[in-house]
Amino acid sequence: MKIEIDTHSHTLVSGHAYNTLREMAHMAAEKRFKGLAITEHAPKMPGSVGLYYFQNLRIVPREMYGISLLLGVELNIMDAEGTIDLPDHVVEGLDISIASVHTPCFAGERTKEVITQAYVSTMKKDCVDIIGHPDDGRFPVNYDRLVRTAKETGTLLEVNNTSLSPVGFRANTKDNVKEMLEYCKKYEAMVVLGTDAHVDTAIGEYQYAMEALKETDFPEELVANTSLEKLRACLKRSR
Ligand SMILES: [Zn+2]
Ligand SMILES: [Zn+2]
């Protein structure tokens, strides 16, 4: 299976990543990818950028070193109501959006019911394309309900390579990802493979995500980012 575009990466402006936008684009081109999504942390993540950064992304070229850039955001899911930390109309103006639960930002209780409800509420938003790393045992999820809602709303679920790697800090990720993938097969829900690269060398490195797909015998047709066109067609914003 070949992945043409990495859907999840961060640059210096996210506050805890280490390369510029140009360096990230250059590495993606060197690794023969056709595209790269740069998805900076939204404003509530400590150390990240503010509203104007996202509003002004329109001035940045969408092609560099011969590859396509999708410039977007990784939103913070703030509570069980699915509150996100940028206005919907700003997110709609970007090329791609991920929404994720992060420890410094999530205000709700960390029970399976509350976390699942938070994801379900978030997926009902038209401006949210992808749920990022719903694999963290510290934020337990009802995967049956998560995947059914993803299918109903046309939201993509992410298999996050960083979560699965030995440097990952999230809990019980491998078993959680495999459970999610089994339900994706059952309901024919689409996934994306994201590296969540915070440094240029991590772009396009999918070793652990690929292992999880192999171990669950996951069908390639349910992976959205095997081509740039397929990915674009799978984003809610292209409807
Ligand atoms: Zn994240
Ligand atoms: Zn991220």
pLDDT in tens, 141-195: 999 999 999 999 999 999 999 999 998 989 999 999 999 999 999 999 999 999 9
> Is residue 239 pLDDT above 90, yes or no?
no
> Rounded distance, CA 38 to CA 7, Å?
7
Residue 41 pLDDT: 98
What is the reported pLDDT for 209? 98
What is the Å distance from ligand 2's center to 10 Cα?
A: 6
How far apart are alpha carbons 212 and 71 in whole angstroms? Answer: 27
Tokens 């490195």 found at: 205
Nearest ligand by distance to the CA of 40: 2
In this predicted structure, what is the pLDDT of residue 62? 98
Residue spans of beta strands (DSSP E) within the chain: 5-6, 35-41, 63-64, 67-76, 97-100, 130-131, 156-160, 191-194
Burial 128-155 (b: 16+ CB within 10 A, else e): bbbbbbbbbeebbbbbebbbbbbbeeeb
Distance from the CA of 179 to the center of ligand 2, in angstroms? Answer: 22
Question: Which pTM value belongs to this model?
Answer: 0.98
Ligand with an atom nearest the CA of residue 194? 2
Chain centre distance of CA 93: 17
Instruction: Report which residue type is found at 27.
Output: M
pLDDT digits 0-9 by tens, 96-117: 999 999 999 999 899 999 999 9
Residue 167's contacts (CB-CB under 8 Å, 6 or more residues apart) are none
Which numbered ligand comes closest to the C-alpha of 196? 2
Q: Please name the CATH architecture into which domain 5-238 falls.
A: Alpha-Beta Barrel (3.20)
Q: How far is the CA of 36 from the centre of ligand 2 (A)?
A: 13
- pLDDT at 7 (0 to 100): 98
Q: How does residue 198 score in pLDDT terms, banded at 50, 70 and 90?
A: very high
Q: How many other β-carbons are positioned within 10 Å of the β-carbon of residue 58?
A: 10
Instruction: For residue 163, give both structure tokens.
Output: 């979560």
Q: What is the pLDDT of residues 34-92, one digit of tens each?
A: 999 999 999 999 999 999 999 999 999 999 999 999 999 999 999 999 999 999 999 99
